Structure 1
Amino acid sequence: MLNLPIEFKDKYQKLLGNDEAEKMFSAMDQESKKAYRINPLKFENNVSYDKTEEVPDIPNAFYGEVSGQDPEWVSGTVYSQDPSAMFPAWIANVQAGEKVLDLCAAPGGKSTALGQALKGEGLLVANEISASRVKALRENIERWGISNALITNNDSFALAKVFPQFFDKILVDAPCSGEGMFRKNPEAIEYWSPEYVQTCQDRQQEILEQAVKMLKPGGKLIYSTCTFSPEEDEEIVSWLVKNYKMEIQPITMINSDKVSHGRPEWGSVDHLERTLRFWPQDNLGEGQFAAILKMPGELGKENSKKSKKKKKDKRNNLSLTKDEKEYIAKVLDKFNLPKEISDWQKRALVRKDHVFIPAISEQNLKGLNIVNDGLELGILKKKRFEPGHHLAEALGQVEQKNVINLSSEEDYMSYLHGETVKVDTDLRGFVLVAFNKMIFSFGKIAGNGVLKNFYPKGLRILKKD
């Protein structure tokens, strides 16, 4: 049973009334609901998990538990995510070709959903201020096979200098007091206090001040938290409306009666009932709040001729040589390429021997700490090219022939440990490696039929004693 602070309980008894508050407290003592999303970008996405209970309104989302060792996870075919947390990215209604920013992105659940909606067109900037958490963000975006993401490790001030009035849509899943995660993460209770709620509100306003600078006129801000606190939800939305003349948008994509709405009496502007609230007693998932706000004006084409010229001159120095293209083609020509990387010979660049197709080419990115730019194809070595893990996950989007489908659970686990595996095949050289037909790595087959392991060391699973 959760040991909820007295001040917390008193607060919500006053806000909700005793009966509704007791329902909330009781629900917070129930077991958390787990769910997962299936990746529609992958060619083979016939997962082994139970799909009998769908998450309301979210396509390809089901209740159930995922293991990090399963081929579904390792191949980027599924993403384990709290069901309530799926909604902010879904209501963003991202369209292919848009420029989208996920400002507080780690560990990547919302970024993977935004990226898949872009379908390889447009741009996703996925930013995480924490240097430790950005590693997981990169791993998850790579696993999902997203090729048009710029992953950055910056604060909102640095981003606003580089991307003024740049984005069609910005998702801010703001750092918050975490009240909605108490039952999933009881440690969050220890940090809670009325003073901490106020600290979070101040931090949210600081982040949002920079976020609105990056929205195009007519652009949309999706604001979300995982807290119940009106100070961080309805009051923040009211602050945005008053200070930036933003309009709260109706959310028409939600039909489930498990989703509640914002409380107008907890804010100070009209239309707060258009915002969404997710309560544990609604039995959908953890606590969540979400709203869509539109900037004044209409979306139009920004003038970026100056930045294009500056960036073109600089990036010419990163172009591939004729010989380098031949080394790369010798490997890539063996595989079917998704359309977004089929023109790699025109777009690929090389930096410190790392070959990549940049997610963005018309913008001067000076001043940003870039973790990954677009799709990393692999590494150039002495007169040869070694394909990378990100490429393997992206190639899983289309049907492939040069694939070794491991024949047993034992071989699969051995490969995840970093071991070589003996295979019976006529294939030689670089191949894609799959289990249950789900592609998750590159390998290389020598003349003796041994599959050399190219699964990244940082992702390998240690053997149990």
Structure 2
Amino acid sequence: MDKLVLPKEFKDKYQKLLAKKADSFFTALEAEPKKAFRLNPLKADYQEVSYDLSKPVDGVEDAYYGEISGRDIEWVSGYVYSQDPSAMYPAEALGVEPGQKVLDLCAAPGGKSTALLSALKNEGLLVANEISASRAKNLRENIERWGAGNCLVTNEDTSHLAQKFPRFFDAILVDAPCSGEGMFRKNHDAVTYWSQEYVLECSNRQKEILNEAVKMLKPGGSLLYSTCTYAPEEDEEICAYLVNELGFKLVKTKVSVASQGIPAWGENLDGIEYARRFWPEDEIGEGQFLAKFILSEINNEEVVTNSKQKSKKRVKKANKRLEVFTKAEKELVQELLADFNLPNNFDFSKAVKSKDHVYIPAVEDVSQIKVLNNGLELGVLKKGRFEPSQQLVQYLGQVRQEKVVELQNQAEFEKYLHGETVRTEEKLKGFVLISYQDKIFSFGKVTGQVVKNFYPKGLRV
């Protein structure tokens, strides 16, 4: 990697802000970036991976320093997620509990969403939203791989989402779009976007996002604000805005590593020491800032009232989009499901059909919002037969399975990822699960000794 060249304006700014500590900060920005990964506790025997688990990330459950590959079976089967270690702390700091309704407002690419799904343990709801359509697609794929069935993935503007979910969530994570100073070390191109004007532009954008986020949080609910930048304008000053303008109170988190928020950078705000700053010289990860808040006042009551008046109409509209799910069709789906071991939380009685797709919705009414995935898609009905989905594969990975074709070596695994057929000596027929190193990652269909490949074309390599 080429040498990192910092803009003079950036160096002058932090020389002034950090004084004697500036030199160690600049030196640390030239060091190698830290790499880490999280294991997926939703998966069966999830700690049985080929990676070194001897270097845990301090204070983050199931997280370890090390590098993984997107071609490994652990990644393909949803057992691991690669993530900057400092970026693991916001989801940890939010401290969600199973059964809660949680929003990840700026969710792509999905690292924090997958961590929140792990914490929810298949109970409650996660809404993972991303305003960028291309990034939302990547988010959906990463969440699908994680294997949870209690997530709604949306591609929405925050103001539109706020109209849909007034005072709805117990907890909200806002990992806000920012100037990205904490990305400089691992992505030198990020430097080219930086200017003080851009920092101020990001600060204004963050306030706009938070103005909408507050409308979706229940009174007494928790909000975790985070960025991957060092800029006070986007960190401590935003904390002051949340407290002084939006009725929030700063609270302590269970994250004890890294440095405290800096009072002088945040209007000497009470509780700013509870915020956490991850500097590169801390040797934890890249740059990150986080602070947790409790909503102590209620604003925007007119938004709540208006949305409540519309909610009954929306449910009726949403139900109109559902198709009749006949008894024969249900039996077709259940016949396939009967071949596999289902997680304890599975409830087929909630299954619905829309455009021949069969799914168990995480949210009943999704009218008027752009949805990429709602709950657990079981598969699609095609001319009197039922074809199971890739999401169902990852969901079934939560429990050990029996109707499985185990690939014998790396060459066979790569062949299957490429979309080719394989052969089996097992006396099986119909749809089977395909696994490698005891980790299922695809469906296949056995005819004789040939296994037809059902790995999705969009995922093939």
Same fold at TM > 0.5: yes
- Deviation of 1:313 (Å): 7.5
1:208 alignment partner, SS class? helix
Q: In 1, are the aligned partners of 2:314 and 2:367 still within 8 Å (CA)?
A: no
1:356-415 C-alpha deviation (Å, 9 max, x unpaired): 110012xx4332111111111001011110101000000000111111111111110000
| Aligned residue in 2 for 1:127 | 129
| Aligned residue in 2 for 1:161 | 163
| Aligned residue in 1 for 2:398 | 397
- Deviation of 1:255 (Å): 3.5
- Deviation of 1:340 (Å): 2.3
| Aligned residue in 1 for 2:457 | 457
| Aligned residue in 1 for 2:301 | none
| Aligned residue in 2 for 1:172 | 174
Q: In 2, are the aligned partners of 1:152 and 1:372 still within 8 Å (CA)?
A: yes
- Deviation of 1:270 (Å): 1.2
| Aligned residue in 1 for 2:117 | 115
Q: In 1, are the aligned partners of 2:248 and 2:297 still within 8 Å (CA)?
A: no
- Deviation of 1:330 (Å): 1.3
Instruction: Pick the aligned partner of 1:148 from 143, 147, 150.
Output: 150
- 2: CA distance between counterparts of 1:124 and 1:331? 28
1:340 alignment partner, SS class? coil
Q: In 1, are the aligned partners of 2:332 and 2:386 still within 8 Å (CA)?
A: yes
1:18-38 C-alpha deviation (Å, 9 max, x unpaired): x31111111111111110000
Instruction: Pick the aligned partner of 2:200 from 198, 201, 222.
Output: 198
- Deviation of 1:307 (Å): 3.9
| Aligned residue in 2 for 1:275 | 275
- Deviation of 1:314 (Å): 4.3
The unaligned stretches of length 5 or more in structure 2 are 299-303
| Aligned residue in 2 for 1:334 | 339
Matched to 2:67, the amino acid is E
2:458 alignment partner, SS class? helix
**Are 1:315 and 2:329 an aligned pair?**
no
The unaligned stretches of length 5 or more in structure 1 are none
CA RMSD for the aligned pairs?
Answer: 1.7
Q: In 1, are the aligned partners of 2:247 and 2:297 still within 8 Å (CA)?
A: no
| Aligned residue in 2 for 1:428 | 429
- Deviation of 1:315 (Å): 2.5
- Deviation of 1:146 (Å): 1.3
Matched to 1:276, the amino acid is R
- 1: CA distance between counterparts of 2:417 and 2:82? 19
**Are 1:80 and 2:79 an aligned pair?**
no
1:262-284 C-alpha deviation (Å, 9 max, x unpaired): 00110112111110100000001
1:318-358 C-alpha deviation (Å, 9 max, x unpaired): 342101001101111000111222x21x1111111111110
Question: How many residues align structurally?
Answer: 449
**Are 1:184 and 2:186 an aligned pair?**
yes
Matched to 1:322, the amino acid is K
Instruction: Pick the aligned partner of 1:223 from 222, 225, 229.
Output: 225
| CA shift in 2, pair 1:460/1:193, >3 Å | same
Matched to 1:320, the amino acid is F
- 2: CA distance between counterparts of 1:450 and 1:23? 61
Matched to 1:456, the amino acid is P
- 2: CA distance between counterparts of 1:254 and 1:198? 28
**Are 1:350 and 2:349 an aligned pair?**
no
Q: Using structure 1 for the length normalisation, give the TM-score.
A: 0.94
| Aligned residue in 1 for 2:45 | 44
| Aligned residue in 2 for 1:29 | 30
1:205-225 C-alpha deviation (Å, 9 max, x unpaired): 011100011111111110000
Q: In 1, are the aligned partners of 2:102 and 2:172 still within 8 Å (CA)?
A: yes
| Aligned residue in 1 for 2:262 | 263
- 2: CA distance between counterparts of 1:365 and 1:412? 38
